[in-house]
Amino acid sequence: MTVFHLRTHRSQPAPAAPTILLDWFTSGEGSTIQVRESLTADLVPPAQAMDFLRFSAAVYCADRLMPRPATWTRTMELEFAVRDVKAWRAVAAELSAALSFLSGDKWRLAPMPSTELSHRKAILRREVDAVCLFSGGLDSLAGAVDLLAEGKKVCLVAHYEGGQAPKVQLHVARLLARRFGADHVVLRRLFLRPSAAAARQTRPLPDTREPSMRSRSLLFLAAGLVVAAGYGGNVPLFIPENGFIGINVPLTLARSGSLSTRTTHPHFMAEIGAQASRLRISNPIVNPYRVLTKGEILATSRDREAIVALARETLSCAHPEAPRYAKRPQGNCGYCLPCLIRRAALHHVGLDNPNDYSFDALREVGELAGDRGSDLRALVRSLSRQARPVDILRNGPVPPADLKEFAAVYERGRHEMLTWMHAANPSSHVRDQLPTS
């Protein structure tokens, strides 16, 4: 078991070995978390929301710092300082269970009393009607467009740690501001990641990094909540994510359990929402697309012209830097599962263009014979099997009242994928394996 300890300010003593110390400092060679707090620079969020963000950041960094064994599951203990230790201890067991569901690990959470007393004073407060998570992907674009088309003032909240994402987030946010008015669009971004190993760290971090990042959704949600709470306890946080990827039925048995991501799985969302409420974070958490396919989100947009104009500017890819190894342009790779779902959704509204991707997965099968083609092969095999209502439970429990709706969105999502594949002039190798749409 690896023990992690989050220290949020310098007055806290360093814990005894064998912990890895995670310091919430913004700079310096001794820092163990690289973070810029421009996210809340002109806001004064409630203490409980700031503690939730720091806790989530510690979970994320711990997740990144401990490589997975061949058996996948790790055992980790996280000690973290909070100001209302009684409230946090009351929810620790439920949060541990939610984290275990999200990442597939065994978590033990140990809230400790913090000596931190006060927040900085606000410099500026700019009111908004809603906060919306903004990854720079297609669903987050649709969520922002729908809110802005209603005349709302929207704060877009993004997380990044390098790569293509920050450039895309800033570019798309500027295009939205140009279209809907700069006074209606605010962009707040959190740069946060584990620091590189350095000799001056209290206990130098390991050089390796775990790539799976199952806990990133918790950090992203916490970033949105702290901003929403900073604007006011009634400001809603929108998490725009389609229902097909929300339940994320594993494509193969080998991807079952936490091997398939549970980023916005309804069970995880319900558990985190319940515990945030118990911690007196009152902001409503809303996913308006929880029972829609990605294509349906685009088809029902409140501003279709905005979707047509901006969709190709977004980045939905799982690994947008990877194409450079094949000496192709970086961006949407075209062969990962998010890219395949994206193409099917855009086909649903007549906007699919294979030239917008590094690879045309359905036609360049020879180029995707190895790891690059694994998602396409798994998807084709999955679509060749008859869907069953029980499939939606393979990645976790679904609220009983929502079973029919999620089973229906799963069926419609599969149909959306098949319709695109048949229409996109696939190679004979792919076409011969596909069932009729």
User: How far is the C-alpha of 425 from the C-alpha of 191, rounded, in Å?
Assistant: 41
Q: Are 156 and 188 in contact (CB under 8 A)?
A: yes
CATH superfamily of 130-197+211-286: HUPs (3.40.50.620)
**Residues 141, 238 contacting (CB under 8 angstroms):** no
Say what the pLDDT of residue 356 is. 96
DSSP 8-state code for residue 211: S
Q: Return residue ranges of the chain for CATH 3.40.50.620.
A: 130-197+211-286
Distance CA 73, CA 75 (A): 7
Quote the pLDDT of residue 258: 46
DSSP letters, 28-45, are STT-SEEEEGGGGTT---
What stretches in the chain show pLDDT beneath 70?
A: 9-11, 16-18, 25-29, 37, 117-126, 253-259, 437
How far is 112 from 168, CA to CA, in rounded Å? 39
- DSSP helix/strand/coil, 339: helix
pLDDT of residue 252: 79
Q: What is the pLDDT of residue 317?
A: 95
DSSP letters for 373-400:
GHHHHHHHHHHHSPP-GGGGGTTS---G
In this structure, the number of other CB atoms found within 10 A of the CB of residue 26 comes to: 12
Nearest residue to 434 via CA among 382, 372, 367: 382
Q: Is the peptide bond before 18 cis (omega within 30 degrees of 0)?
A: yes
Give this prediction's pTM.
Answer: 0.94
